[in-house]
A and B are shown apart, each in its own frame.
Chain A
Amino acid sequence: MKYVDEYRDQKLAEKLAGEIRRAATKPWAIMEVCGGQTHSIVKYGIDYLLPNEVELVHGPGCPVCVTPLEMIDRAHAIARRSDVIFCSFGDMLRVPGSNGDLFQAKASGADVRIVYSPLDCLRIALANPQKKVVFFAVGFETTAPANAMAVWQAKSQGIGNFSMLVSHALVPPAITGILESPDNRVQAFLGPGHVCAVMGYREYEPIAARFHTPVVITGFEPLDLLEGILLAVRQLEQGRAQVENQYARAVEPGGNQSAREMIRQVFEVCDRGWRGIGSIPGSGYCLREAFRDYDSERVFEVDTIHAPEPEACISGSILKGLKKPHDCPAFGRECTPLNPLGATMVSAEGACAAYFNYGRQLVRLPAMEGAS
Chain B
Amino acid sequence: MPNAFALSCGLPVSRPRNIVLGHGSGGRLTAQLVRDLFLPAFDNPALRKLDDQAVLPVDSGRIALTTDSFVVTPLFFPGGDIGRLAVNGTVNDLAMSGARPLFLTAAFILEEGLPIGDLERITQSMAKAASEAGVSIVTGDTKVVNHGSADKLFITTAGVGVVPDGISISASNARPGDAVIVSGTIGDHGMAVWATREGLEFEGHIESDTAPLNRLVHAMTRAGDVHVLRDPTRGGLGTSLCEIASSSSVGVELDARAVPVREEVRAACEILGMDPLFVANEGKLVAMVAESSADAVLAAMRSLPEGRGACRIGRVVAEHSGAVIVKTEIGGSRVIDVPFAEQLPRIC
Q: Which residues of A contact B (CB under 8 A)?
A: 1, 4, 8-10, 13-14, 36, 42-49, 63-64, 89-94, 114, 116, 138-140, 142-143, 194, 222-223, 336-338, 347-349, 356-360, 362-363, 365, 368
- In contact, A349 and B340 (Cβ under 8 angstroms): no
> In the assembled complex, how far is the CB of residue B188 from the closest CB belonging to chain A, in whole angstroms?
16
Please measure, in the bound complex, the distance between the C-alpha atom of A363 and the C-alpha atom of B328, giving whole angstroms: 16
- In contact, A359 and B335 (Cβ under 8 angstroms): yes
- In contact, A138 and B347 (Cβ under 8 angstroms): yes
- In contact, A43 and B334 (Cβ under 8 angstroms): yes
Q: Which residues of A contact B328 (CB under 8 A)?
A: 43-45, 222
Of the candidate stretches B76-84, B115-123, B126-134, B262-270, the one touching chain A is B262-270
- In contact, B340 and A338 (Cβ under 8 angstroms): yes
- In contact, B336 and A368 (Cβ under 8 angstroms): no
> At the interface, yes or no: B200 with Cβ under 8 Å from chain A?
yes
- B327 to chain A: closest residue by CB: A45
- In contact, B335 and A365 (Cβ under 8 angstroms): yes
Please measure, in the bound complex, the distance between the C-alpha atom of A255 and the C-alpha atom of B270, giving whole angstroms: 24
> In the assembled complex, how far is the CB of residue B279 from the closest CB belonging to chain A, in whole angstroms?
14
A1-B263, A1-B267, A337-B340 as given contacts; A368 in contact with B332, CB under 8 Å: yes
Q: Which residues of B contact A49 (CB under 8 A)?
A: 330-332
> At the interface, yes or no: B294 with Cβ under 8 Å from chain A?
no
- In contact, B344 and A48 (Cβ under 8 angstroms): no
- In contact, B335 and A358 (Cβ under 8 angstroms): yes
Q: Which residues of A contact B337 (CB under 8 A)?
A: 356-359, 362
**Residue from the set A143, A357, A368 with the largest chain B CB neighbour count within 10 Å:** A357
9 contacts between A and B (CB under 8 A): A14-B331, A94-B341, A222-B329, A358-B337, A359-B336, A362-B337, A363-B335, A365-B325, A365-B333
Q: Which residues of B contact A114 (CB under 8 A)?
A: 198, 344-345
Partner of B335, one of A36, A89, A360: A360
> In the assembled complex, how far is the CB of residue B3 from the closest CB belonging to chain A, in whole angstroms?
51
Partner of B333, one of A93, A138, A222, A368: A368
- In contact, A44 and B348 (Cβ under 8 angstroms): no
Q: Which residues of A contact B348 (CB under 8 A)?
A: 36, 63, 139-140, 142-143, 194
Which residues 302-348 in B have Cβ within 8 Å of A in the complex?
Answer: 320, 322-325, 328-337, 339-341, 344-348
Kindly state the interface size class of chain B when it binds its partner.
Answer: 20 to 34
- In contact, A45 and B333 (Cβ under 8 angstroms): yes
> At the interface, yes or no: B273 with Cβ under 8 Å from chain A?
yes
> In the assembled complex, how far is the CB of residue B214 from the closest CB belonging to chain A, in whole angstroms?
34
- B261 to chain A: closest residue by CB: A1
- In contact, B335 and A362 (Cβ under 8 angstroms): yes
Q: Which residues of A contact B332 (CB under 8 A)?
A: 44-49, 222, 368
- In contact, B336 and A358 (Cβ under 8 angstroms): yes
Q: Which residues of B contact A359 (CB under 8 A)?
A: 323-324, 334-337
Please measure, in the bound complex, the distance between the C-alpha atom of A114 and the C-alpha atom of B346, giving whole angstroms: 11
Please measure, in the bound complex, the distance between the C-alpha atom of A349 and the C-alpha atom of B344, giving whole angstroms: 12
Q: Which residues of B contact A94 (CB under 8 A)?
A: 341, 344
Q: Which residues of B contact A45 (CB under 8 A)?
A: 328, 330, 332-334
> In the assembled complex, how far is the CB of residue A11 from the closest CB belonging to chain B, in whole angstroms?
9
> In the assembled complex, how far is the CB of residue A145 from the closest CB belonging to chain B, in whole angstroms?
12
> In the assembled complex, how far is the CB of residue A13 from the closest CB belonging to chain B, in whole angstroms?
4
- In contact, A44 and B330 (Cβ under 8 angstroms): yes
Q: Which residues of B contact A91 (CB under 8 A)?
A: 273, 344-347
Partner of A64, one of B198, B331, B334, B347: B347
> In the assembled complex, how far is the CB of residue A341 from the closest CB belonging to chain B, in whole angstroms?
15
A1-B266, A89-B347, A365-B325 as given contacts; A13 in contact with B340, CB under 8 Å: no
Q: Which residues of B contact A336 (CB under 8 A)?
A: 340
Please measure, in the bound complex, the distance between the C-alpha atom of A12 and the C-alpha atom of B263, giving whole angstroms: 22
Please measure, in the bound complex, the distance between the C-alpha atom of A355 and the C-alpha atom of B323, giving whole angstroms: 15
Please measure, in the bound complex, the distance between the C-alpha atom of A358 and the C-alpha atom of B336, giving whole angstroms: 5
- B348 to chain A: closest residue by CB: A142
Please measure, in the bound complex, the distance between the C-alpha atom of A35 and the C-alpha atom of B322, giving whole angstroms: 29
> In the assembled complex, how far is the CB of residue A61 from the closest CB belonging to chain B, in whole angstroms?
9
Q: Which residues of A contact B320 (CB under 8 A)?
A: 363
Q: Which residues of B contact A348 (CB under 8 A)?
A: 273, 346
- B331 to chain A: closest residue by CB: A10
Q: Which residues of B contact A1 (CB under 8 A)?
A: 263, 266-267, 270
**Residue from the set B200, B266, B273, B333 with the largest chain A CB neighbour count within 10 Å:** B333
Top 3 A-B pairs, shortest CB-CB distance: A45-B332, A359-B335, A90-B344
Please measure, in the bound complex, the distance between the C-alpha atom of A99 and the C-alpha atom of B101, giving whole angstroms: 48
Q: Which residues of A contact B331 (CB under 8 A)?
A: 10, 13-14, 49, 368
- In contact, A139 and B341 (Cβ under 8 angstroms): no
- In contact, A362 and B344 (Cβ under 8 angstroms): no
Please measure, in the bound complex, the distance between the C-alpha atom of A50 and the C-alpha atom of B334, giving whole angstroms: 15
Please measure, in the bound complex, the distance between the C-alpha atom of A47 and the C-alpha atom of B335, giving whole angstroms: 14
- B340 to chain A: closest residue by CB: A338
> In the assembled complex, how far is the CB of residue B344 from the closest CB belonging to chain A, in whole angstroms?
3
